[in-house]
Amino acid sequence: MKIDVVTLFPEFFPGPLATGLVGKALAAGRAAVQTIDPRHFTHDRHRTVDDTPYGGGGGMVMKPEPVMAAVAAARAQGAGPAVLLSPQGRPLAQRDFERWAAGTHLILVAGRYEGYDERIRTRCDEEISIGDFVLTGGEYAALVIIDGVIRLLPGTLGNKDCPEQDSFADGLLEYPHYTRPVVYEGDPVPEVLQSGHHQRLTEWRHAQALLRTRARRPDLLKRRGLTPSEAAILATAGSPPRLVAMPAALIGPGVLAVAAAYGVPAVFAVASGADDRRELEARLANLPAATCPVREGPRSRKHRRAPPATVADDLGARVRVLEDWASLPTRWDGRPVVRWAAERRPPLDAVFVDPGAALAAAGTEPAPVPCVVIGAPADRVDGYLPVIRGAVPENRLPVASVVGIYLDRIQGEG
Ligand code: 9D3
């Protein structure tokens, strides 16, 4: 594998590239990295590589001739793609490493200054960003790519951690690892890891990888999908709890049946006066027995009938009456509660949340507990859930449907 890096800072690379497994691969000749400096392709006294932008505006722009002359010199060394590194590029992914490592040549174009003349961009084969953050130059991105590509070349890794075992290769994050001591600061190694029971161990690791991916990167699970047995693992492990809050007057058997079906541990009923509370209690006392279609246990055989709905009696049990919106809890089960408003017509200054992304971005473990809130004043919520598509403005959905749709949307599985 030959990698050419077009850079104004050739001195950036030798240190890192002499290190670790990449250093070994280069020393063994399994890969070679060469830098090409656009400054060597300038012809003026000052070796100018940048200039002021047409139309004004701050910063300097990289001139096309020196960079493209350096790229041409690199292209003479092999048939690989010229990859422009820039914050505007397509997000880098493991697949890119796999694709580039399967070839024999790669050209990385690293820039400095505020940006590239647009005609550089259109003359490269790909444009890549390594993430949504701002660096001082493309050299850091080049090192990242060199590492990811060389790592995949035959001979770089031992057999033990082969690329097929990479967490991204099967679309899941890795399960937790432990080593000695068996108890650290009172925190023990899970029993299943000490048991030597191979099948239980494999199942535990698979379940942990699934749970961790659902909690931290629901986007990965969404893209990858689940096998039926994986879906069953996640279902039995339980979704992170979700709560519901709304004016007491909106709570009826439908809402409670939906809450039961989603395993919602609490439905908060905001009842401002004694009348409101009495009316709610009357409604809860009269819940029909057959309102909850929840079946206990999995459907096992085609012709076996589902067990009777036994949850119906408990439908009212999850209701918590609140005096006012200010009493909505800020913590549940030791976790922070995030209140997301479900409104047909959010205020014009509403800030919408992407539930999956918001939970992943919160990054806390355990994750925050989302609460679907209907009818609260704007200053009591942390954001608005995207309006349900298809519910045209004049067409009111039953409140139970609204609750069901949003509970479904904010499940970790996506
Ligand atoms: C004022 C607008 N800035 C864009 C956000 C200009 C700008 C910032 C940083 C122009 C170039 C750079 C240098 N960054 C890279 O060359 C770069 C990069 C990055 O900053 N983040 C993620 N991936 C990459 S790949 C190359």
137 CA → ligand 1 middle, Å: 6
Position 57 in a domain: yes
272 and 299 together in one domain: yes
124 and 272 together in one domain: no
Position 160 in a domain: no
pLDDT range class, residue 167, cuts 50, 70, 90 = low
Averaged pLDDT, 123-135: 98
pLDDT range class, residue 73, cuts 50, 70, 90 = very high
Higher confidence at residue 402 or residue 262?
402
The catalytic residues are: 87, 114, 151, 166
50 CA → ligand 1 middle, Å: 16
Q: What's the pLDDT at 305?
A: 53
Q: What's the pLDDT at 311?
A: 46
Reported as a single tens digit per residue, the pLDDT across 75-124 is 999 999 999 999 999 999 999 999 999 999 999 999 998 999 999 999 99
114 and 227 together in one domain: no
The CB of 241 under 6 Å from ligand 1? The reply is no
140 CA → ligand 1 middle, Å: 10
User: What share of the chain in percent tops pLDDT 90?
Assistant: 74
71 CA → ligand 1 middle, Å: 20
The CB of 134 under 6 Å from ligand 1? The reply is yes
The CB of 183 under 6 Å from ligand 1? The reply is no
Q: What is the CATH number of the domain that holds 385?
A: 3.40.1280.10
Averaged pLDDT, 360-367: 70
Q: Indicate the residue among 172, 204, 237 that finishes a domain.
A: 237
Q: What's the pLDDT at 414?
A: 39
274 and 347 together in one domain: yes
User: What share of the chain in percent tops pLDDT 70?
Assistant: 90
Mean pLDDT of the chain: 90
Q: What's the pLDDT at 300?
A: 52
The answer to whether 68 and 53 are in contact (CB under 8 A) is: no
pLDDT range class, residue 165, cuts 50, 70, 90 = low
Q: What does residue 134 show for φ and ψ, rounded to 5 degrees?
A: -110, 125
Position 88 in a domain: yes
Apex 170 CA angle, 139 and 193, nearest 5: 110
- d(CA 268, CA 312) in angstroms, rounded, equals 18
Question: What is the position in ligand 1's atom list of the atom closest to the CA of 133?
Answer: 21
The CB of 282 under 6 Å from ligand 1? The reply is no
222 and 278 together in one domain: no
DSSP 331: E
316 and 341 together in one domain: yes
Position 224 in a domain: yes
Q: Are strands 61-62 and 50-51 parallel, antiparallel or unpaired?
A: antiparallel
89 CA → ligand 1 middle, Å: 10
What residue numbers bound the domain in which 214 lies? Answer: 183-237
Span between the terminal Cα atoms of the chain, in Å: 40
41 and 139 together in one domain: yes
**Largest interatomic CA distance in the chain:** 91
Q: Whose CA is nearest to atom 4 of ligand 1?
A: 87
250 and 227 together in one domain: no
Position 164 in a domain: no
Q: What's the pLDDT at 184?
A: 97
Neighbours of 272 (CB within 10 A): 13
Q: Whose CA is nearest to atom 13 of ligand 1?
A: 137
The CB of 53 under 6 Å from ligand 1? The reply is no
Q: What's the pLDDT at 113?
A: 87
Position 251 in a domain: yes
The total of structural domains in the chain comes to: 3
258 and 321 together in one domain: yes
Best mutation site among 5, 85, 86 for ligand 1 pocket (most ligand atoms within 8 Å of CB): 86
Averaged pLDDT, 347-362: 87
212 and 248 together in one domain: no
Q: Indicate the residue among 131, 150, 169 that finishes a domain.
A: 150
Examine the pLDDT at 312 and tell me if it is beyond 60. Answer: no
Averaged pLDDT, 316-330: 95
The CB of 86 under 6 Å from ligand 1? The reply is yes
Q: Indicate the residue among 217, 237, 257 that finishes a domain.
A: 237
Position 162 in a domain: no
262 and 381 together in one domain: yes
Position 18 in a domain: yes
The CB of 138 under 6 Å from ligand 1? The reply is yes
